[in-house]
Structure 1
């Protein structure tokens, strides 16, 4: 039976992973200032990440969860690797060329609802009252925090919004698949395998459609690519997988509500995007929503 301590640790690990992931949007926007296109910065992200995942896959190659792993399970790993960090990342990076980092997060935050609905319809997992209430509270906090961002206009903004929405849908599918496959493969092996697939997809994509000289960027672009790879990809990818294993993908989706809030704070610091008192109040509401599932879980195990 899942212990309260395990659940709380899972929530804290999930929060750390989400905050690190949130830094990606800010660093990508910083990279765009140096005239780099989305697929090139995505390629740098995956190039710097790839060696880490290969080494980890090798070190954990004999890890055994005790469950039977069939050939079709490996096929699912490939599938979720393609949609989870290749398509989701590509849509996200492309969408960020059209909209602000803070607006990207409010649209991307639709994925928690998608995760819970996908779990309900495909894995037959019930939606609890606690989850529904926590989601409602975190959404309320997001609406408050981004009150000035809701009124969008202009064709470019709509294009960016659709791309980010596609990113949310593909990432939600990945999280659902993670919750199902991680117990079979183990956290480290599943994450490494899925990310190697994603990296390979990016390499193939770049070689086919992009003719930019990869060795002709400014040093700032390479530095940001490395930082995105290590601190906004490798480390949080394992933290997220570990969190999903400890608290379930549905509960992790609620914890992910901290993502938009951390993004607006980072965007205010590094991109000079405006951070208002209303946004700070919204952040508090989101945090209360996240604490709700943690405290309720503690009460259930008391």
Structure 2
């Protein structure tokens, strides 16, 4: 049974994971200043992440879960590893070539509603009035915060937006799969296995299409690749998995509303994007929506 303390703890680590994930867009945009392409920076992200997940998978290889996975579950794990952190990441990195980090977040933030819809369609989970109202409130905050940012300026913006939308759909699919596969594998094993699969997919992709010399980048690119790997991939991937287990993928999707706001702040600091009073007001509205879902009634042991 879930306690109020566990629910709040799940929200806290979920927010931390989302903020760390949000830093990825800013660091990728910084890396693009050094003339690196999307698949190369994605490769560096996965290359630096890979050893961590191998070690974690080895440590937790004998960990038993309540519901043991069957062969079909392993096939689903392959699928969600391919979709979640490979396709979603690749689409996101390509989209960031064409649009700003702040605009990327407002489009990517479509995935909470996609999660709820997928849960309703495939897992028969109802969308509660509390969830619907919280989503509406957080979307209102996003619209306010990005009112000065959502301007279409040429075909490249549409192209970038399309790739980010694909990223939102594929990431939402991963979150839904995580919700029912994590109890079968355990948090650490599922996350490590899914990320190893994603890393291998990126390695194959790079070897097949890229002609760029992996050792030809400046030290700044390697540094950013390492930071993206550790602080925007490895650490938050486990935080997000733990949060989903504690509060459900639907509630996590709403808590993830903090992502666009943290991106605005980070982009203002590191990319010199303007942070207006209107955006700060939008941030407060989003936080209010997150608090609303945080006050959801929970069962007590």
1:217 correspondence with 2:184: no
**Match of residue 295 from structure 1:** 295
CA RMSD across the alignment: 1.0
Q: How do 1:146-185 and structure 2 match up within 5 A? A: 146-185=146-185
Q: Distance in 2 between matches of 1:297 and 1:149?
A: 36
1:8 correspondence with 2:8: yes
Q: How do 1:229-268 and structure 2 match up within 5 A? A: 229-268=229-268
Gaps of 5+ in 2: none
Q: How do 1:63-142 and structure 2 match up within 5 A? A: 63-142=63-142
- Which deviations, in whole Å up to 9, do the C-alpha atoms of 1:119-144 show, x marking residues without a partner? 00000001011100110000000000
In structure 2, the residue corresponding to 1:297 is in which secondary structure? coil
**Match of residue 143 from structure 1:** 143
Conservation of the 8 A alpha-carbon contact between 2:53 and 2:196: yes
Q: Distance in 2 between matches of 1:255 and 1:196?
A: 26
Q: Which stretch shows the higher mean deviation, 76-85 or 60-69?
A: 60-69
TM-score scaled to structure 2, two decimals?
Answer: 0.99
For residue 153 of structure 1, report the CA deviation from its aligned partner: 2.7
Q: How many residues align?
A: 301
Q: Distance in 2 between matches of 1:38 and 1:170?
A: 18
Q: Distance in 1 between matches of 2:170 and 2:196?
A: 17
Q: Distance in 2 between matches of 1:195 and 1:19?
A: 19
Structure 1 moving runs of 4+ over 6 Å: none
Conservation of the 8 A alpha-carbon contact between 2:66 and 2:183: no
For residue 149 of structure 1, report the CA deviation from its aligned partner: 1.6
Q: Distance in 2 between matches of 1:185 and 1:301?
A: 25
Q: Distance in 1 between matches of 2:64 and 2:261?
A: 37
- Which deviations, in whole Å up to 9, do the C-alpha atoms of 1:119-174 show, x marking residues without a partner? 00000001011100110000000000000122313100000000000000000000
Gap change, CA 1:301 and 1:141, over 3 Å in 2: farther
Q: Distance in 2 between matches of 1:66 and 1:17?
A: 26
Q: Distance in 2 between matches of 1:256 and 1:32?
A: 26
Gaps of 5+ in 1: none
Conservation of the 8 A alpha-carbon contact between 2:135 and 2:254: yes
Q: Distance in 2 between matches of 1:278 and 1:202?
A: 39
Q: How do 1:19-38 and structure 2 match up within 5 A? A: 19-38=19-38
Gap change, CA 1:290 and 1:301, over 3 Å in 2: farther
Q: Distance in 1 between matches of 2:167 and 2:297?
A: 30
**Match of residue 277 from structure 1:** 277
Q: Distance in 1 between matches of 2:292 and 2:272?
A: 32
- Which deviations, in whole Å up to 9, do the C-alpha atoms of 1:42-94 show, x marking residues without a partner? 00000000000000000000111121210110110000000000000000000
For residue 301 of structure 1, report the CA deviation from its aligned partner: 5.3
In structure 2, the residue corresponding to 1:275 is in which secondary structure? coil
In structure 2, the residue corresponding to 1:67 is in which secondary structure? coil
Q: Distance in 2 between matches of 1:297 and 1:269?
A: 37
Q: Distance in 2 between matches of 1:42 and 1:9?
A: 31
In structure 2, the residue corresponding to 1:149 is in which secondary structure? coil
For residue 297 of structure 1, report the CA deviation from its aligned partner: 2.7
